[in-house]
Structure 1
Amino acid sequence: MKKLLNFLHQLFLRPSTRIGLGILVTGGFLAGILSWQGFNTALKATNEEAFCISCHTMHDNSLQELKNTVHWSNRSGVRAYCADCHVPHDFTDKIARKIQASREVLSQILGDIDTREQFLDHRIVLAQREWARFEANGSKECRSCHDYDDMDFEKMKPAAREIMRGAAERDQSCVSCHRGIAHELPDVKGGHNPAFDPLRSAASSQSVQSGQTYYLAAPQELYAEETLERKIGHIEMATAVKVLETKGDAQRVELLLWRKNKGYGRVWYSQFGLNITNAILEKEVSRDAQTINVLDSREDALTGLEWQQVQVAGWIPKNNLIDSQEPIWSIARSTYNTSCSVCHRQPQEAHFDANTWPGMFNGMVGFTNLDNETAKVILKYLQNHSSDFSNATH
């Protein structure tokens, strides 16, 4: 061991007695060049598309999605490769991204995203990381091709021209509006919005009296018996219900709504003639006269359809009611003003009537990452504050 330590000391710490200083410097210089060239060669190789899709997860998922977009094939013949979007062009940022990407490589090796199902489960996490990176750097990689200074706004369609000019004035990140243009968007339908948690907390402490009207703090299934076993329908959030009685962990409630007298009439609405969905009944009970009471019937002059005022009683789990819709609308209003104003100035609530809002909103919501529950509540808020309920001019 002592001899080994002496040898290492002689080799690295003491001046050479056999090799000239010039040779050592020259050799070190050449070794440095070779090392740097090797590093750059390896760096370039890992930027090639062949490397990116060498694992079947990327080849079978991301590549196949890219092939269906204009970034793969278009009239100009210019293609965007993986590294063009996902590898920063600046050297320092590029190295940082390479280090970050090592965890994705590790996940592939460990089999965390080895199947299509696993990839879809992880897609929201992967997408949010890239969205955050693009937001932080102003979508620098996108703008190496699509720069605001080089855009001819007069050649755009009028609606796009207005939006893009506003984005250019704010120097807005491209990914704020343009998501899902090269790969499919994550499925956020089962996502959870923590903004609703205070509503559930308030519902758990809400004092409920029989004969009074309350509002659902969360979507609930409607059951035939207090045992909560046989489902007869589904009630949407913010729907008004009249409490009839409470037994154990269940409450019997009454719904008084409207339906169109066509088909099974499963979808129930809050107002006559307005498509504001509040409940959906199971097919086998929606026309059961023993369960459903028809109180009124009238024709909608605009559509010629017959509408019926209907009533049903059923059971829901207790501790899910609050005494006002306003806390729900407050959350919906705040989310609408923040999530729906990223790309352009959102319309005022009273700009459309209740039956127009679903088509308008569904055309916009695809460009957001709102979960299904939040999207439903925002639409319901917009419909309940539409021109049908407002005297405001627009």
Structure 2
Amino acid sequence: MSLWRKPNRKWMLGIPIGGLLAFILGGAALSVFHFGMDYTNRNEFCYSCHIGMDTIVEEYQASPHFKNAQGVIAATCSDCHVPREFFAKIALKIGATADIYHKLTGDITLENFEAEHRPRLAAEVTQQFIENKSKQCRYCHSVDKMDFEAQGRTVARRHQMMESREQSCIDCHAGIAHHLPISLDSPETVPPEE
């Protein structure tokens, strides 16, 4: 018996068929992945849990990030809360499955959200903004593009000095899209009544 023999023609046919199947399955998997990433970045997906969490959605819809005098296109939930970098986005979405699980199991409800969960979640998001120097804000807002003449004197000075003071947007604008949660140890975080 020889080590070299004529290849079986049926086996040779399996290579292109297997390649085609791998290509089709890979394309289908990529399509499902892309749809999932896109769907979970939509406001409707975010609202599916947060609409029942007291005022989260209502606060956002009353903020200048949703509707403003300039008619600037609204920032979506994912514009502020989801990183644009691929691996950071994947890590965040994997981590967020825990919150989805707790919502589905009823651990997070309208009754316990404000007192038990909102302060924790707000602290986590605030810490992320501090650590990344408000990177999500800077996707749309740039100090270099600001018209300081159109701003008040104090605001213009603060914007001009924020880099040298190692400050970021969150240092002054915390609570711009959502009110800061009521905290027992810091009652000043409650938004003023209008």
* Fold match (TM-score > 0.5): yes
Aligned equivalent of 1:21: 15
Q: Distance in 2 between matches of 1:109 and 1:57?
A: 14
Shift in Å at residue 154 of structure 1? 2.6
Shift in Å at residue 70 of structure 1? 1.3
Q: Distance in 2 between matches of 1:65 and 1:73?
A: 11
Structure showing greater Rg: 1
Mapping 1:84-103, distance limit 5 Å: 84-103=79-98
Change in Cα spacing, 1:79 to 1:59, as seen in structure 2 (3 Å) is: farther
The farther-off stretch of 105-114 and 53-62 is: 53-62
Change in Cα spacing, 1:59 to 1:73, as seen in structure 2 (3 Å) is: farther
Aligned equivalent of 1:126: 121
Q: 2:138 aligns with which of 132, 139, 143?
A: 143
- Percent sequence identity is 36
Q: Distance in 1 between matches of 2:133 and 2:106?
A: 33
CA shift digits 1:348-373 (9 cap, x unpaired): xxxxxxxxxxxxxx9xx559xxxxxx
Aligned length: 179
SS in 2 for 1:169: coil
Change in Cα spacing, 1:57 to 1:72, as seen in structure 2 (3 Å) is: closer
Aligned equivalent of 2:27: 33
Letter in 2 for 1:104: D
Aligned equivalent of 1:165: 160
Shift in Å at residue 57 of structure 1? 4.6
Q: Distance in 1 between matches of 2:174 and 2:180?
A: 7
Q: Distance in 1 between matches of 2:65 and 2:26?
A: 39
CA shift digits 1:218-266 (9 cap, x unpaired): xxxxxxxxxxxxxxxxxxxxxxxxxxxxxxxxxxxxxxxxxxxxxxxxx
Shift in Å at residue 19 of structure 1? 4.2
Q: Distance in 1 between matches of 2:123 and 2:50?
A: 22
Aligned equivalent of 1:273: none
Q: 1:185 aligns with which of 170, 177, 180?
A: 180
- Contact 1:57–1:113 (8 Å) recurs in 2: no
Q: Distance in 2 between matches of 1:38 and 1:20?
A: 26
Letter in 1 for 2:34: N
Shift in Å at residue 87 of structure 1? 1.0
- Contact 2:53–2:113 (8 Å) recurs in 1: no
Change in Cα spacing, 1:118 to 1:137, as seen in structure 2 (3 Å) is: same
Matched, 1:63 2:57: yes
Q: Distance in 1 between matches of 2:98 and 2:157?
A: 41
- Contact 1:72–1:79 (8 Å) recurs in 2: yes
SS in 2 for 1:138: coil
Aligned equivalent of 1:47: 41
Shift in Å at residue 30 of structure 1? 2.3
Higher helix fraction: Structure 1 or Structure 2? 2
Shift in Å at residue 155 of structure 1? 2.1
Q: Distance in 1 between matches of 2:142 and 2:166?
A: 10
Mapping 1:191-206, distance limit 5 Å: 191=185
Q: Distance in 1 between matches of 2:42 and 2:51?
A: 16
Q: Return structure 1 stretches of 4+ with deviation > 6 angstroms.
A: none
Q: Distance in 2 between matches of 1:89 and 1:143?
A: 12
Letter in 1 for 2:45: F
Q: Distance in 2 between matches of 1:56 and 1:140?
A: 23
CA RMSD of aligned residues (A): 2.3
SS in 2 for 1:145: coil
SS in 1 for 2:120: helix
Mapping 1:341-360, distance limit 5 Å: none
Q: Which has the higher contact order (CA 8 A, sep 6+)?
A: 2
Please report the TM-score for the alignment, with normalisation by the length of structure 2: 0.83
Q: Distance in 2 between matches of 1:60 and 1:124?
A: 13
Change in Cα spacing, 1:58 to 1:134, as seen in structure 2 (3 Å) is: farther
